[in-house]
Amino acid sequence: MQEEAARAADPSPYGEASRRILGTELLLVLALSLGASGVSALISFIGSVTRPGGLKDQAATLNGSYAPGRPWLDLAWQLFGVSTSLVPVLLVAHLLLREGAGLRAIGFDRTRPWSDLGRGALLAAAIGGTGLAFYLVVRAAGFNLTVVPESLPDVWWKIPVLILSAIQNSVLEEVIVVGYLLRRLGQLGWTPMAALVGSSLLRGSYHLYQGIGGFIGNMVMGVVFVLLYRRWGRVGPLVAAHALIDIVAFVGYALLAGKVGWLPTP
């Protein structure tokens, strides 16, 4: 807690710059990344609930093909999508570096790799199973779309691309929605509780395209992640946990879809 408070009190990269400049910076970062995703998810959700039929009869595909029938072109688009999605993380790293802090200030570095991985694995085990059970329940109740983690062609690069996609998701979300956002909100004078609520609502918002269940489940996950970040002072374990959860979801679906009765498919 003390380390978090110290980080939040650090001077901005502009010295005596006003809160307005910090606020503008934050809005621009979010507009280029997960804030825009939240608006997109809201529009998608409105489209889903106003479409004839129930939510569970509709599908939300997370990793789809960009060039069906053209595997090499598809691979190029997949790699392009993964790499460009990480540009906002590079922007955050640049802004924190100008501040004199860098990503180390939010605990995203190589100083504690095994500790980060160990904590992340335990967290993934705790959240992964609970999250799957929650998804199955809310989908059965009609509050969620059928989530399709992947619909890629069966080519040699399928599993590696799914793993890269999972890592990209985890780095983008945890660096921006936890480390960077909490730091800036603290510098803007937000209380710890308000920052926790803001971070959690943002995480839930860009999962709204999955339905009510996706929004609520990820918002709860956001609360847990913020509390653990404040306890550990590092986003490294959160990145590891998120990556492991998504890898299991993406690769597990690829291996099990259509082969087990309990896993919903379109």
The residue-averaged pLDDT of 190-196 equals 97
Per-residue pLDDT, 17: 52
Q: Is the pLDDT of residue 200 over 50?
A: yes
Query: From CA 131, how far away is CA 134, in angstroms rounded?
Result: 5
Structure tokens at 180: 């960077």
The pLDDT-based confidence of 10 (bands split at 50, 70, 90) is very low
- What does the pLDDT look like over 225-266, one tens digit per residue? 999 999 999 999 999 999 999 999 999 999 999 999 999 999
Query: From CA 79, how far away is CA 77, in angstroms rounded?
Result: 6
| Average pLDDT over all residues of the chain | 93
The residue-averaged pLDDT of 118-140 equals 96
Q: Global pTM? A: 0.91
Long-range contact pairs involving 39-48 (C-beta distance under 8 Å, separation at least 24): 40/206, 40/209, 41/205, 41/206, 41/207, 41/208, 41/209, 42/205, 42/208, 44/208, 44/209, 45/208, 45/209, 45/211, 48/145, 48/209, 48/211
Per-residue pLDDT, 19: 85
Per-residue pLDDT, 53: 87
Query: From CA 232, how far away is CA 234, in angstroms rounded?
Result: 5
Exposure string over 22-57, b if 16+ CB within 10 A, otherwise e: beebbeebbeebbbebbeebeeebeebeeeeeebbe
Structure tokens at 91: 């922007």
Place of tokens 């956001």: 222
Q: Under a CB-based contact definition with an 8 Å cutoff, are residues 250 and 231 in contact?
A: no
Structure tokens at 69: 């029938």
Q: Under a CB-based contact definition with an 8 Å cutoff, are residues 209 and 41 in contact?
A: yes
